[in-house]
């Protein structure tokens, strides 16, 4: 954690990936992010992966550094409490993010009656307010078509297990909150911010040139396996079965590959035969199959350890294919050797590596990562210190089942 946002308070009502990751991004930069959930947990509280005791590793990983309050907001008094929390006075408060529907008590006009300068960011599936998930958005924008595989029943699109649009949307949420907070600081104006998951994907597709390519060139891009479009990059298998990816995007990267493989003469001859200039990445892409054929024997004649040494000696841009378990067990970059990580005790689960923010700010110190809260861990603290309720009032809310603290669930 780095406390560059210390003093800022954000209230979060969320589920699944994008909205919780946006709140976590702010929390890991020092903001006081208060997540509210229904008593007993919301629809993502037991989401897989889970431990043998049914504790969600997913939920705890996406809520590091936050505070938790558990409220029955199906009841009027619970909704009134959360309205007070969202709209509490203060220059560093009045910041709210959610992917719950912005209607009823969560409608912008309802909340803004209590604080005119409220900053309210609402994430929806699509721009019409409809439902969408990363996987439904991803198939809409065409990327699974570029990952086609043949399963003997014909080519089928292949989904990506990485929820890229959720992750990017989470960063957009954090950016949107910070941009609106700066605007309020300059003008005094709050605002309602709309963000659609589908628009995050559509904007990215446009920004990467796919829309322009389909419009101007009017030719569908074909699936190409592990080749990198428009340049040279592909996977290769070593003699002992280990597989690596090498990439030659820049001229220097390409020259490093050629020198490491000792194929200068063969590459020069191939360029002459095809009338291509391999200092241009587009020409390397045109000849990708022939160039790969020159490189394959080099890997096939070497075990991974030898290839690793020679690739590093020649400053080749490369990476090893490995499982997540291998990443955790043997890769020093995924260890406390990397200051990104701390080994932290997550109550109810155990100790494991947790990442902080990948941003490193020179003006603030980096502190140990803060684990996720237990559900309802800070309920009383928030009611007392943030909303100013008395211990008697808090006790009555517990007795009435409006709020809850930590429960054994």
**Mean pLDDT, rounded, for 117-142:** 96
Q: What's the CATH superfamily of 9-204+338-404?
A: Crotonobetainyl-coa:carnitine coa-transferase; domain 1 (3.40.50.10540)
In this predicted structure, the answer to whether residue 152 has a pLDDT above a threshold of 70 is no
In this predicted structure, the answer to whether residue 351 has a pLDDT above a threshold of 80 is yes
**Sequence ranges of the domains in the chain:** 9-204+338-404, 232-330
Beta carbons of 95 and 119 less than 8 angstroms apart? yes
Q: Is 273 designated active site?
A: no
Where does the pLDDT of residue 380 fall: very low under 50, low under 70, confident under 90, or very high at 90 and above? very high
- Closest by CA position to 172, among listed 201, 214, 143, 212: 201
Retrieve residue 158's tokens. Answer: 């292949």
Q: What gap in Å lies between CA 79 and CA 103, rounded to an integer?
A: 13
Pairing of strands 191-196, 155-156: unpaired
Where does the pLDDT of residue 1 fall: very low under 50, low under 70, confident under 90, or very high at 90 and above? confident
Residue 135, number of CB atoms within 10 A of its CB: 15
pLDDT of residue 408: 67
Q: What gap in Å lies between CA 135 and CA 139, rounded to an integer?
A: 6
Residues 6+ apart with CB under 8 A from 387: 81, 84, 85, 88
Where does the pLDDT of residue 141 fall: very low under 50, low under 70, confident under 90, or very high at 90 and above? very high
3-state secondary structure of 103: coil
Please check whether the domain covering 232-330 is classified as CATH 3.30.420.
no
Retrieve residue 310's tokens. Answer: 């020679």
Residues 6+ apart with CB under 8 A from 177: 10, 22, 26, 95, 97, 119, 121, 193
Q: What is the mean pLDDT of the chain?
A: 96
In this predicted structure, the answer to whether residue 8 has a pLDDT above a threshold of 80 is yes
Catalytic one among 166, 312, 385, 399?
166
């Amino acid at each position: 954690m780095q406390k560059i946002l210390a003093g800022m308070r954000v209230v979060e009502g969320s589920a699944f990936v994008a909205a919780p990751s946006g709140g976590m991004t702010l929390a890991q930069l020092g903001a006081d992010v208060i997540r509210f959930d229904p008593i007993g947990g919301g629809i993502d509280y037991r989401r897989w992966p889970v431990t043998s005791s049914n504790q969600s590793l997913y939920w705890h990983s996406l809520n590091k550094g936050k505070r938790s309050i558990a409220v029955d907001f199906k009841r009027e008094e619970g909704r009134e409490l959360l309205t007070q929390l969202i709209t509490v006075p203060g220059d560093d408060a009045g910041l709210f993010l959610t992917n719950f529907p912005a209607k009823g008590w969560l409608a912008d006009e309802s909340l803004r009656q209590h604080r005119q300068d409220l900053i309210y960011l609402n994430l929806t599936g699509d721009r019409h307010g409809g439902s969408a998930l990363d996987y439904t958005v991803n198939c809409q924008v065409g990327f699974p078509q570029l990952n086609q595989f043949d399963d003997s029943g014909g080519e089928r699109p292949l989904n990506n297990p990485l929820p890229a649009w959720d992750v990017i949307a989470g960063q957009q949420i954090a950016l949107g909150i910070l941009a609106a907070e700066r605007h309020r600081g300059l003008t005094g104006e709050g605002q309602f911010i709309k963000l659609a998951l589908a628009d995050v994907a559509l904007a990215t597709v446009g920004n990467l040139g796919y829309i322009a390519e389909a419009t101007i060139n009017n030719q569908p891009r074909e699936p190409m396996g592990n080749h990198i479009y428009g340049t040279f990059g592909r996977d290769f298998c070593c003699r002992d079965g280990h597989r690596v990816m090498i990439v030659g995007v820049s001229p220097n990267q390409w020259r490093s590959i050629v020198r490491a493989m000792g194929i200068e003469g063969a590459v020069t001859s191939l360029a002459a035969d095809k009338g291509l200039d391999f200092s241009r990445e587009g020409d390397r892409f045109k000849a990708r199959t022939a160039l790969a054929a020159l490189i394959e024997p080099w890997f096939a004649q070497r075990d991974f350890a030898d290839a690793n040494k020679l690739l590093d000696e020649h400053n080749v841009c490369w990476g090893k294919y490995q499982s997540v378990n291998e990443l955790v067990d043997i890769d020093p970059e995924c260890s406390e050797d990397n200051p990104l990580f701390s080994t932290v005790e997550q109550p109810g689960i155990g100790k494991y590596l947790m990442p902080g923010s990948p941003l490193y700010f020179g003006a603030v110190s980096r502190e140990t990562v803060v684990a996720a809260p237990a559900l309802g861990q800070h309920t009383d603290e928030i009611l007392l210190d943030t909303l100013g309720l008395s211990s008697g009032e808090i006790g009555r809310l517990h007795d009435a089942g409006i709020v809850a603290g930590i429960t054994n669930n």
